[in-house]
Amino acid sequence: MSTFRTPRRRARPALVAAITVTAALTGPVSQAASSPSSHAAAGAPSPGAAGLGDPIFPLDGNGGYKVDRYLLDFDWQAPNTPFEAATTISATATQALSRFDLDFAGNTPHTVTVNGKPAAAERDGDELVITPAKPLAQGKAFTVKVTYTADPTRIRHRDDAIEDYGWIATPDGTVLYPQPNGAKMIFPSNDHPSQRAPITFRITTPPGLKAVANGELTDRTEQADGRVKWTYDSEQPLATQLAQLAIGKFTFVDGAGPHGLPIRDVVPDDLVASTEQYRKLTADHIAWLEERLGPYPFNRYGLLVGDTDLGVALETQTLSLIPKADLLGDQVSAERNLVHELTHQWTGDSVGIKTWSDLWLSEGHARFYERLYSQAHGGVSFEDTMKTAYASHDQWRHDYGAPAEPTEPNLFKRMRYDGSALVLYALREKVGQETFGKIERSWVTKYRGKTAGTQDYIDLASKVSGQDLDSFLHPWLYGAKTPPMPNHPDWVVDPVQS
């Protein structure tokens, strides 16, 4: 996600509605929470953990199972209008389960089944606690299906770069902003960046509207009533925060990138011509990044032009969401955001993060290459921007936490962007440009399609460079004070202002 945006109006107030649960259920859903047994016998079925213990969002994700695939069925009606939906989750139990949780917020559940049989379900805040008719054996595959009324007005708000997230309405449809943990407002899930699974989307739209989602369009079927069912397959596993599903009056613009890579932009009909100048630069951006990071890691790419007032770009996997304002301004600003979100396809999407404290690896890399590209294409000096960031680094540490030590309110603040790009700049100054390039290519190659954390990066950098970099990188990533910048003894950190 990029924080560099065309100036726009102030963000809308958050819209957080109360959760309503209906009484007509196959698997009864209530507001009461059940507490897990603390003395389950060894090997006996026991509750899966309600969260993964993430340092930022401890209740995000769930224990006791691994999702193998999501199947989402959405019967879309109109903007801001509830519609019927179903999510089917194929999973494997990683322990003997007496019950388990799904992250699920704000929608109205109707039925819950496990392996085709009605299951009891209880709403506990953002958790849906499910008790199957029979315990689930460790290592066994199972299927859970939740039918519900989806509410596309569900929006939450953060006082950082994210602003509004969840369902974001457009004039004739919707786009999704699931980052950081808004997927639970879209579909029941294991909503944590370390938990990745492929997604099949089946979206039915009224006549005249199109649907798009991550990955490949595998089927389009016109129904007898004129509605159209669109089926997309994400092809590769993805974290729930990277899911995208958009509906509107779209034009699909097909093209090709390096090595014949399919590129499909999804553009509101009345914005096709006005956004073409910058959209057609994507192939060049991919080629530039491939020179530095190696082959593009997915089967396809494209831009989804967001027809909203929310000026936040988002790296949804294989289909970056770019606000229309970013494509209607000056070229330097547009390319910064385009390269930023594209870089995420390597670092953040293909190489996912283990915990939210590792976000610096995603946003820092995206900002690093965005700045590097911009310097060579009409933007300001990369070194000058890093010198400016260096001067502010102690203040950012004080206000927002060190790069690898964010707090929840400050997760998407300046430190995770320019402040984290500065860590990579310092590493490049320490080991030299050639060795740094080898570290970067090794990083995206070794962890392609996997998740990795801060210590993984430190260990890999040390191995590739042939020197122990822990003592160098640890103060940069965790220290209360900014270390000296290699090769720049004249750079000075400004005093912290309370």
Helix (H) or strand (E) holding 199: strand 199-205
pLDDT at residue 7 in the model? 36
Rounded to an integer, what distance in angstroms lies between the CA atom of residue 144 and that of residue 132? 9
Rounded to an integer, what distance in angstroms lies between the CA atom of residue 174 and that of residue 306? 9
State mean pLDDT over 368-380: 98
Rounded to an integer, what distance in angstroms lies between the CA atom of residue 265 and that of residue 271? 12
Rounded to an integer, what distance in angstroms lies between the CA atom of residue 309 and that of residue 306? 9
pLDDT at residue 497 in the model? 96
| Strands, sheet with 65-75, edge to edge from the N-terminal-most edge strand | 117-118, 108-114, 141-150, 83-93, 65-75, 199-205, 228-233, 216-222
pLDDT per residue as tens digits for the range 156-167: 999 999 999 999
pLDDT per residue as tens digits for the range 111-158: 999 999 999 999 999 999 999 999 999 999 999 999 999 999 999 999
Cβ–Cβ < 8 Å for 277, 335: no
Dmax (CA) for the chain in angstroms is 72
Helix (H) or strand (E) holding 424: helix 418-431
Is the pLDDT assigned to residue 9 strictly greater than 80? no
pLDDT at residue 15 in the model? 30
Is the pLDDT assigned to residue 32 strictly greater than 70? no
pLDDT per residue as tens digits for the range 166-205: 999 999 999 999 999 999 999 999 999 999 999 999 999 9
Rounded to an integer, what distance in angstroms lies between the CA atom of residue 205 and that of residue 173? 10
Q: What is the DSSP string of 437-482?
A: HHHHHHHHHHTTTSEE-HHHHHHHHHHHHTS--HHHHHHHHH-SSP
Average pLDDT, rounded, for the chain: 93
pLDDT at residue 2 in the model? 72
- Binning pLDDT at 50, 70 and 90, where does residue 488 land? very high
pLDDT per residue as tens digits for the range 292-308: 999 999 999 999 999 99
Helix (H, G, I), strand (E, B) or coil at 317: coil
Is the pLDDT assigned to residue 240 strictly greater than 60? yes
Cβ–Cβ < 8 Å for 57, 105: no
Q: What is the pTM of this model?
A: 0.92
Q: Which region among 17-31, 86-100, 373-387 has the lowest average model confidence (pLDDT)?
A: 17-31
- Binning pLDDT at 50, 70 and 90, where does residue 1 land? confident
Rounded to an integer, what distance in angstroms lies between the CA atom of residue 288 and that of residue 291? 5
State mean pLDDT over 225-253: 98
pLDDT at residue 3 in the model? 60
State mean pLDDT over 30-50: 62
- Binning pLDDT at 50, 70 and 90, where does residue 14 land? very low
pLDDT at residue 190 in the model? 98
pLDDT per residue as tens digits for the range 322-362: 999 999 999 999 999 999 999 999 999 999 999 999 999 99
pLDDT at residue 106 in the model? 79
Is the pLDDT assigned to residue 37 strictly greater than 80? no
155 phi and psi, to 5 degrees? -135, 140
Q: What does the block give as tokens for 362?
A: 């995603």
